[in-house]
Amino acid sequence: MALFGKDEAKKELGLLTPEDIRRLPRHVGIIMDGNGRWAVRRGMPRSFGHKAGVEALRAIIRRSSDLGIEALTIYAFSTENWSRSVEEVSALMGLLLEYFTKELDELHREHVCIRIIGDISGMPKGLERQQAALYAAMDRTRENTGLKLNIALNYGSQQEIVRAAQNLARRAAAGELAPEQITREMFAGELYTAGLPDVDFLIRTSGELRLSNFLLYQCAYAEFYKTDILWPDFDRNAYDEALLTYTKRERRFGGVK
């Protein structure tokens, strides 16, 4: 299944009007939740749900690109997910390698710029092929000017914030800057998402109401959207419906309008 169908018109409106498209978020974050439950309800192993979740992801990446959304950040694997069963983690890592092996050429042709946010170097031994595929994807697409696709892998937002503070502390200790010179922009520049706008719209599937250590700093003024749809069933229409709710919101950023 191709990510970008060549026989379909770019920026097909679907549920969105031209005015809606002008009001779309620059940066969308998605917590892709519910793969395991989706599989269990069908009497299948959890790995079956993760495979179906990859198919759903293809459609959302394509739709984001077609709509001209600047950045899409997806939560693929947290620092806490290593506590899952060996079988489930192995299946997830296998899908990761398969995804980049099969899709990288097309993502590159469509000018998608891939960034892995998280501690790639801290992945356990035995995942060298996955690490190499991740670095290769980033290197090959680094200069692309289309959708910025950020994949949070071995990622935890609290650790990301600590890492940023440590980097600035080292610079202060070396005499490069004084603590009072540290600005919000300087701190943001030490995050994995440096150079990207903050998250405008955060989607979480499967009905859960928590951030799960995802982009805590970047979501300071994000609009939140929760749906009971499990991730493998979150298709283009569901995405459009979510985006449509964003276009109707009035963002105040702490002020009064």
Please identify which of the residues 33, 35, 66, 154 carries the catalytic annotation.
33
Question: 33 an active-site residue?
Answer: yes
* Amino acid residing at 205: T
Chain-centre distance for alpha carbon 98: 18
Would you say 77 and 153 are in contact if contact means Cβ atoms under 8 Å apart?
Answer: yes
Q: Are strands 71-78 and 27-31 parallel, antiparallel or unpaired?
A: parallel
139 counts as catalytic: no
Amino acid at residue number 96: L
Closest CA to 67 of 28, 107, 121, 108: 28
Q: Which of 7, 20, 35, 81 is catalytic?
A: 81
> What gap in Å lies between CA 165 and CA 159, rounded to an integer?
10
Please state the separation of Cα 41 from the chain's center in Å: 26
Q: How many CB atoms lie within 10 A of CB 54?
A: 21
Task: Indicate which residues carry an active-site annotation.
Answer: 33, 81
